[in-house]
Chains A and B, each alone.
Chain A
Amino acid sequence: MTGHDAVFLLVALFTGGAALLTVTSKNLFHAALFLAATLAGIAGVFLVLRADFLALVQLVVYVGAVAVLFLFGLMVTRAPIGREALDGQNRGLALAVSGTLFVVLSGLIIQSFGGVRAAEVTGPGIREIGIAIFAHWVLPFELLSMLLLAALIGAILLARRESGESGEESVERRIDFGDEPSTEAGAQALPAADTAGELPAGEPVAGGER
């Protein structure tokens, strides 16, 4: 085992651990943070495999943008401040799907690159990547960007208010926002615990209603 392998192993362990924690974490925000760590770990794997450009792309796109957008979205919508336990009901299904995916993907990868030693890999330079993308593969690249553009426009269309809708509606929607079940559950859980501790036991205040 060379030093290179050792570094790879360390990075891989970090990435794998973070990925595991992402799915087992009960706090949504923590899960998102572990996801960010996983993505950063993948960038580390790229770096070890001498794909510097890809590593940096991974960092700027996934850690700097996607993970941040996840966190941002979480904070805008659910804002689970403090400790909050979340759990999905589909653990078994999820395990089955991801397990199958893992087996299929690792089988494919080992079949294709099983004989290549990581230390011998030399990644292409930035110049080669540029020429490859913008000369040989320019059509797929542009098609992909069209796809992204379509997704973007679609998102705007979905989020946009209809022309007939007025400002009043937005007020109403804001109230709806506050009454979202999950937020309410979170909001009620904490004060209930507080009042139970503070009020005398004989008082049948909020506790009786629940």
Chain B
Amino acid sequence: MTDLVLEQAVTFAAQSASLLTFDSFLLSVAAKIAFALGLFFVVPLVGGYMEHKVMARMQHRRGPVEAGPFGSLQLVADGIKFIQKEDIIPRAADKWVFAAAPGVALVPGMLIFLVIPLGPGVFALDLELGLFYALAISSISVLGILMGGWASANKFSLIGGLRAGGQLIAYELPLILAAITVAVQAQTLSLVGIVEAQSTFMLPGTDINVWFVFPQIIGFGIFFIAAMAELSRPPFDMPIADSELVFGYMTEYTGIKFAMFLLTEYGGMIIMSALMVVLYLGGWQLLPGVPLPGCDGAGGLFDCGWLGTLAGVGITLGKIMALVFVMVWLRVAYPRLREDQLQRMAWIVLVPLALLNLAVVTVAKVVF
């Protein structure tokens, strides 16, 4: 039985080998699951901590200072608090849907971490369809939000869920269109392959190596805005809109379920940042055209030795955190949009722009 599943897994995965692939199938599976879960539960906490601190300093506050050194364990403390809280289910709520919603929102986030490459060989899976997989899976978490909004039997939750549904449908389109443009330029859907393509991409007519962010700066902007909207991050946080909707679809949630929704948001920030790093910012390369220490061997991007591998992981995480910082920065700087402004921006500005970008890049790809 295992050999058949193994065969399945082999066909499903990997042109380039992951460091987490071992001779034993079960060991590999365990290592990959541990990798994805570790990423999912640790990196978002770092991102959340940074959000707390950066936002506080931009508002002349100190942010968390008590839990752990410089308050760095604040989110861990929050998690412990959430676990201890009473799990309240409103009497009118639809119990099963209410209970399942946070899970439906959370699990896709975990699954996406399977395909995100952090460094040379540091990823769980290198799917041939990696990019498509990430986008397809991420679209499922909308379901969880809609379920939570409806099942709470609360008008604020319902409106919040509605807004979330409308927003996520609207912004998924430009997001996917921008990502497709990158795939066209890289001629692959594999996330590892896209990083590789960026290491060899030259500006047309020259031999200057650049990342995709330079030829596709518009696409990057579209992807960034759409990602913020997908995550309901301020200034696109109409589904939560605490001044209008209490807390949107999360209004009735308490304790660990609420924490799961929150973790979905922070995990989503990391996922979207990681996708942007992979698609536009050259993955684990330090600078365009500069190889990592130890990476100049025959294996190129992938054969780096442990030092280069560590450096690569560090560079990727650093880039992710830089993007999270920008998201926090925008959150502090801008007020929330109105719902109609949000929809207008998606359908009238972003979608046509993304289509135009796709057309231009495709034509350019054929011409050059």
Contacts and interface: CB of A to CB of B under 8 A. Distances in A.
B5 A72 contact: no
Contacts of A60: 132, 135-136, 139, 176
A126 interface: yes
B2 A3 contact: yes
Contacts of A76: 162
A7 B5 contact: yes
Contacts of A68: 139, 142-143, 146, 165, 168-169
Contact of B189 (A29, A67, A126): A126
Contacts of B12: 50, 52
B143 A36 contact: yes
B5 A75 contact: no
Nearest to B12: A52
B94 A83 contact: yes
B2 A75 contact: no
B8 interface: yes
Contacts of A29: 94, 97, 150
A177 to B, nearest CB: 14
Contact of A30 (B92, B93, B97, B142): B97
A75 B161 contact: yes
Contacts of A19: none
A79 B168 CA distance: 19
Nearest to A127: B128
A135 interface: no
**In which size bucket is the chain B interface?**
35 or more
Interface string B276-298: 00000000000000000000000
A56 B165 contact: no
Contact of B142 (A33, A64, A122, A126): A64
Interface in B1-26: 1-2, 4-5, 8, 11-12
A2 interface: yes
B266 to A, nearest CB: 21
A81 interface: yes
Interface string B165-181: 11011001000100000
Main SS at interface, chain A? helix
Interface in A1-54: 2-4, 6-7, 27, 29-30, 33, 36, 40, 50, 52-53
Interface residues of A, number: 36
Binding site secondary structure of chain B: helix
A59 B147 contact: no
B133 interface: yes
A72 B162 contact: yes
Contacts of A82: 92-94, 153
A65 interface: yes
B165 A72 contact: yes
Contacts of B5: 3-4, 7
Contacts of A30: 94, 97
B92 A59 contact: no
B359 interface: no
Contact of B129 (A56, A72, A79): A56
A3 B4 CA distance: 7
A56 B1 contact: no
B246 interface: no
Nearest to B141: A64
Interface string A134-170: 0000000000000000000000000000000000000
Give the most central of B93, B140, B149, B161: most A CB within 10 Å. Answer: B140
Nearest to B6: A3
B143 A67 contact: yes
A29 B149 CA distance: 12
A30 B98 CA distance: 12
A29 B172 CA distance: 23
A75 B165 contact: yes
Nearest to B134: A56
Contact of B149 (A33, A67, A75): A75
A69 interface: yes
A138 to B, nearest CB: 15
B304 interface: no
Given A59-B137, A64-B136, A71-B165, 9 more contacts: A4-B8, A53-B129, A60-B136, A64-B142, A68-B139, A68-B146, A75-B165, A81-B150, A82-B92
**What 6 A-B pairs come out closest when comparing CB atoms?**
A64-B139, A3-B1, A60-B136, A72-B165, A56-B136, A59-B136
24 contacts: A2-B4, A3-B4, A4-B5, A27-B94, A29-B150, A33-B97, A33-B147, A36-B143, A50-B8, A53-B129, A56-B132, A56-B133, A59-B136, A63-B140, A64-B136, A67-B143, A68-B139, A68-B142, A69-B169, A71-B143, A71-B146, A75-B149, A82-B153, A83-B94
Interface of A: 2-4, 6-7, 27, 29-30, 33, 36, 40, 50, 52-53, 56-57, 59-60, 63-65, 67-69, 71-72, 75-76, 79, 81-83, 119, 122, 125-126
Interface of B: 1-2, 4-5, 8, 11-12, 92-94, 97, 127-129, 132-133, 135-137, 139-140, 142-143, 146-147, 149-150, 153, 155, 158, 161-162, 165-166, 168-169, 172, 176, 189
